[in-house]
Structure 1
Amino acid sequence: MTALSRQTLSQLPDSVARPSYLDREPRVGIAHIGVGNFHRSHQAMYVDRVLNETPDAPWAICGIGVREEDRGLLDALRSQDGLYSLSLFESDGAVTSRVIGSLREFVLVPDDPAAAVARLADPDIRIVSMTITESGYVEDPENSRTAGDDPVVRADAAGDFAAPRSAFGLIVAALRARREAGVPAFTVSSCDNVQNNGTVAKRSVVATARLASDELADWIDRSVAFPSTMVDRITPRATAAQLETVASLLGDVTDAAAVVAEPFEQWVLEENFALGRPAVENHGAVFVDEIDTYEFMKLRLLNAGHQVLAYVGLLRGHTYAHEAMADPDVTVWLERYWNELALPTTELPSGVDGAEYVRVLAERFGNPAIADTLERLATDSGDRMSKFVMPVLTQARSRETFTEVASRILASYAVAVSETTSPVILASVSDEVRAALSDEANPAGFLAAIDWLAPLAVDAPFRDAVAAQVRTLRSR
């Protein structure tokens, strides 16, 4: 067995597609912060398609890791010349695999923050994109987070961004260096599941800069493009069984950085890139002037649907999404959420049939080959519930069945989080919130204790309904 590399590409079976452009050494024009599985199944794949068609296009990617925890993956990718396999698992058991080559460089910020700043300040870098999860944005009024409250960002600012350790400190330092050198600002593109993620990213970058310089913050506010995007592809952490399947597809070549995903893909972007962009619209992406309806649709139906599925499913004892989707006692609440609360309050893009969209979502959620865990769906539980589910509940309060459906969803969330020991589910849950969720004497008290739920706490009949649902679920 030999490790995947440029030298061993020829040893792959003919059924495994591979990049055709590596000998052309495409220039790096994108720096991406957060080189996790999703980025590699989505944006890097789209860029790989562009480079296969136009190998001289200056859009190869430099992967940036800001955390020490990123070291293992970046080292694995470096050892494989940046190459990795992407395998798509169909619901009927079919699997196809290809090698992606668009990641050509890697920088781990903890090793050399100054080198990371210099790489982003290089005029060749035209886009800095990021996948840092919903909880990674440091200026978030909805969750009462400010950049000044983040200890890493605060330390970056105190050091005048000379050796930044945070994603936003790195971006600010690089933008300042470009400004001082007379180099135009790169575009900052968020690829996270956040409504108006361009605006959210801008808010965090500007607030981080303002900790050190109002003048720099104002310049960023005026001069830097922050397009919003909508991204979609279910990309779970690979199971041992999936990795065995991938290994069988790769033959005598081993891959220490393999990614598995569903076949479905979608990328919708605002046309707002100041220094150009790869022609991903030739490879399935869609550029629009108004992205709001696409974002609303995806976040309120897919991402919020995942939250409903996760908490109701966990309380039924399920581990995987496809198991929960096979349980009528779970899907009844997911379908009621979609049909009675979400679809009636969601403006859909022109030409999109809501019933068909959720039918396809149900098929995707139920794909047994993906083996997506409910724990993954419930990661950063409070942040995801507040951003995905709460906007729907706020707008659906006048719906006839609101109290019955919404109380079940929130009670499931409360009981599941209060009972779990999963560190990823509890990652954004404070001790005070956990105590409120676990309070048997006041089972609906968490509504008033959690900021984003407070608007629902003033409704006494709704509080009573939530309390009754919590008691029922705790006695199951």
Structure 2
Amino acid sequence: MTPVAAPARLSRSALGLPMPPERIVHFGLGAFHRAHQAWYTARASDAAEWGIVAFTGRSRDLVDRLRPQDGLYTLVERGVDGDRCEVVPSIVRIESGDDVPAFVAAVADPAVVILTLTMTESGYRLGADGTPDLSDPVVAADVALLSEAFTTGSADAARPGTAMARILLGLDARRRAGAGSIAVVPCDNLPDNGGKFRRALVDLAERTSRELPAWLATKVSVVSTSIDRITPAIDGTVESLAVAEAARWTDAAPVVTEPFSDWVLEGAFPAGRPDWESAGARFVDELAPWENRKLWMLNGAHTVLAALGQVRGHANVNSAIVDPVCRDAVEALWDDDARQLPEFDLADYRAALLERFGNPRIEHRLAQIAQDSTTKMRLRIVPVALAELADGRTAHGCATAVAAWVLGVRAGLVPSPDGVGEHADAGDDPPSSATLLDLLDPRLAAHTTFAGLVLAACADLSAPWDFERRLRHVP
């Protein structure tokens, strides 16, 4: 009997893969970047010209797992009918996010012409006005640190703690090195992510440096993006074993994602970029409609399911979406969304979302999606509700979404918003729907009809479900 060979360790030499030159820096290395921007770069027609230097957040975990593999990893596209494994070779160097000198040096490298970011919504640390939140002690400390460093010429020794401050430090090093123009591409699920990033960066520069604001205006292009690919958290050990069995190589850092992917970008790349169009990306003159479609419909539905699905005993998206109560709440929200997205015929998109949500082989956990739910509600549900009310409609679907969030908070299944203790009435434990609605958005709380719909929806969603009474048909 011929012995079966052990799986080979994943490496460039073993697979005969070249090392593309370092042209892109990424901050915030995680599963999503590897399933999206790194994957698009690897599939571009000129991929051999574009290598990525990737920095983690703060953990060294991915550094320790990816370095022995020369930055290679397996992307597992998990479809309903099976898996497709692909090695992604675009990441050529991996560094720890807390290595500030390495990050600054990478951004200042003249060969690098693109900086991409996945920092998550909370990683921007912005106040309500969209500028750096000076009430955050870490932000305030970084403003003081950068001000002194730029004034005294000691920037090389600075070690700021926030992502925005580190990025500004890297750009200042690029300015001093005369390294030329660079495009910054935020890839987080924020409306107007490019605009938000630029405004926050300029505000931070104006608070800390005399030279940087003018240089940023002429040398830094900020590109807005809308990104879409469901990439759930996984059990790395289990998936590594599955890759070894299916692909016959050992991979300590695989990524599992769905077959669907979408990337829409708006903005200039003054010093060049990969041919991402050849990999399926789209460049548009106006991103907002595409961005809103994705944020309000896919992400908005996820936020509803994360709350209501858990309240109804579900753990994953695929089981929640086939629950008629959850499904109807999502459809009701989408009806409101559709009226605010007149640019699109959404029938096919809605059908595709339901198919993607129902993929039983993608374990997208509701508890994971529920993190930072208050911020997500304000970005994904509140704008549609306000627009529907301004147009003279009831925003019933949004009211149902808010009610789902309220029930999730009251059940302790999604995080409570800040300030619950200060706003709660005596004995208000758990907090009332009125308290939570006011914390979510005072404008919605002041709209008596909408507030009444939220209260009624809370009762409807808590009651035994009448299958003849579909939420989207309630007046």
TM (norm. structure 1) is 0.86
Q: 1:60 aligned to 2:51?
A: yes
Partner of residue 153 from structure 1, selected from 139, 147, 159: 139
Match of 1:97 in 2: 85
Inter-partner Cα distance in structure 1 for 2:12 and 2:273: 30
Unpaired runs of 5+ residues, structure 2, are: 1-5, 147-154, 465-475
Alignment-mate amino acid for residue 227 of structure 1: V
Inter-partner Cα distance in structure 1 for 2:137 and 2:204: 12
Partner of residue 100 from structure 2, selected from 97, 113, 121: 113
Partner of residue 318 from structure 1, selected from 296, 311, 314: 314
Match of 1:344 in 2: 339
Q: Deviations over 1:17-51 (max 9, x none)?
A: xxx6x33x32111000111111000110111113x
Match of 2:73 in 1: 84
Partner of residue 389 from structure 2, selected from 369, 393, 397: 397
Paired residues for 1:283-322 under 5 Å: 283-322=279-318
Inter-partner Cα distance in structure 2 for 1:145 and 1:216: 17
Partner of residue 418 from structure 2, selected from 416, 421, 430: 430
Q: Deviations over 1:76-107 (max 9, x none)?
A: 1112111110000112x311001111111122
Match of 2:473 in 1: none
3-state SS, counterpart of residue 237 of structure 1: coil
Q: 1:6 aligned to 2:6?
A: no
Q: 1:223 aligned to 2:210?
A: no
Tell me which moved more, 147-156 or 291-300: 147-156
Tell me which moved more, 193-202 or 458-467: 458-467
Match of 2:150 in 1: none
Q: 1:411 aligned to 2:398?
A: no
- Structure 1 residue 391 displacement after superposition: 0.9
Contact kept? 1:62, 1:104, Cα under 8 Å:
yes
Q: 1:385 aligned to 2:377?
A: yes
Inter-partner Cα distance in structure 2 for 1:334 and 1:441: 24
Contact kept? 1:87, 1:260, Cα under 8 Å:
yes
3-state SS, counterpart of residue 397 of structure 1: helix
Does the C-alpha gap of structure 1 residues 435 and 224 become closer, same or farther in structure 2, counting only changes over 3 Å?
Answer: same
- Structure 1 residue 261 displacement after superposition: 0.4
Q: 1:193 aligned to 2:198?
A: no
Alignment-mate amino acid for residue 10 of structure 2: S
Match of 2:161 in 1: 165
Number of matched pairs: 446
Inter-partner Cα distance in structure 2 for 1:407 and 1:353: 24
Alignment-mate amino acid for residue 179 of structure 1: R
3-state SS, counterpart of residue 95 of structure 1: strand
Partner of residue 45 from structure 1, selected from 39, 44, 48: 39
- Structure 1 residue 5 displacement after superposition: 3.0
Contact kept? 2:20, 2:47, Cα under 8 Å:
yes
Match of 1:125 in 2: 112
Alignment-mate amino acid for residue 113 of structure 1: V
Q: Deviations over 1:372-425 (max 9, x none)?
A: 11122222111111111111111112678735433322121012123236xxx5
Q: 1:72 aligned to 2:61?
A: yes
Partner of residue 243 from structure 2, selected from 240, 243, 246: 246
Match of 1:465 in 2: 453
User: RMSD of aligned C-alpha atoms?
Assistant: 2.6
Inter-partner Cα distance in structure 1 for 2:181 and 2:163: 16
Contact kept? 1:267, 1:284, Cα under 8 Å:
yes
Partner of residue 445 from structure 1, selected from 405, 411, 435: 435
3-state SS, counterpart of residue 160 of structure 2: coil
Contact kept? 1:310, 1:374, Cα under 8 Å:
yes
- Structure 1 residue 434 displacement after superposition: 9.7
TM (norm. structure 2) is 0.86
Inter-partner Cα distance in structure 2 for 1:272 and 1:384: 28
Match of 1:14 in 2: none
- Structure 1 residue 210 displacement after superposition: 2.7
Contact kept? 2:399, 2:457, Cα under 8 Å:
yes
- Structure 1 residue 202 displacement after superposition: 0.8
3-state SS, counterpart of residue 141 of structure 1: coil
Partner of residue 360 from structure 1, selected from 352, 355, 358: 352
- Structure 1 residue 356 displacement after superposition: 0.9
Q: 1:34 aligned to 2:28?
A: yes
Alignment-mate amino acid for residue 63 of structure 1: A
Inter-partner Cα distance in structure 1 for 2:307 and 2:422: 15
Does the C-alpha gap of structure 1 residues 440 and 233 become closer, same or farther in structure 2, counting only changes over 3 Å?
Answer: closer
Contact kept? 2:46, 2:274, Cα under 8 Å:
no
Does the C-alpha gap of structure 1 residues 261 and 159 become closer, same or farther in structure 2, counting only changes over 3 Å?
Answer: same
Contact kept? 1:139, 1:145, Cα under 8 Å:
yes
Contact kept? 1:31, 1:125, Cα under 8 Å:
yes
Contact kept? 2:400, 2:457, Cα under 8 Å:
yes
Q: Deviations over 1:122-147 (max 9, x none)?
A: 111111110111222233536x7634
Alignment-mate amino acid for residue 61 of structure 1: I
Alignment-mate amino acid for residue 438 of structure 2: A
Match of 1:15 in 2: none
